[in-house]
Amino acid sequence: MSDFSFTKLGLEGAYLIEYFSVGDNRGGFSKSFEKDIYKEAGIEFSLNETFISISAKNVIRGLHFQTRNPQAKLVSVPKGKVYDVIVDLRPESLTFKKWEGYELSDQNHRALYVPRGFAHGFACIEDGTLMMYQCDGPYDKETDTGIRFDDPDIGIKWPVEDGKDIHSDRDLGLMSFKDFVEQYL
């Protein structure tokens, strides 16, 4: 698996990936995905759609997922820096309700593979951060939902100073983890 490094994470099925990147006096060039290399590492991923978001410093997005036909995601940061978080929502998993967070940036050339059945969110550490989401599986608008970023039952420690965090109205209205369990499990 030349030019790629795959690290299995503590949450079953999730990987931190260091991808190919070179640079010189002109700038840089990176390759964050190659189907056969990922398959060799044990990741079956078939790209359905790609999204790019741009966010200001202190924006927290998430924790998002689909309740029906969950998508696997490959997330990376072509510009800027985020603290990226995944939460295992699979009740049969040994790591159910556990979360992990990782810094992804244009400097460390990392991607995070988020398996189906996980919630995903991130906090922007730099202004003008671009986050790229590559999704395996169709988007399901009817079941696109999430859990609040600050749910105490999950207990994520976001690297954003209290009172400076920025959110969408949608994200502020997301359900609690307790509501998720009662409604979907």
Alpha-carbon distances of 156 from 138, 147, 160, rounded to whole Å: 28, 12, 11
Q: Which two tokens stand for residue 123?
A: 């906090």
Quick one: residue 58, left, alpha or beta (phi over 0 = left, psi -120 to 50 = alpha)? left
Instruction: Give the separation between CA 176 and CA 125, rounded to whole angstroms.
Output: 25
By the 8 A CB rule, do 166 and 127 touch?
no
Question: Active-site positions?
Answer: 64, 133
Residue for token pair 């189907």: 35
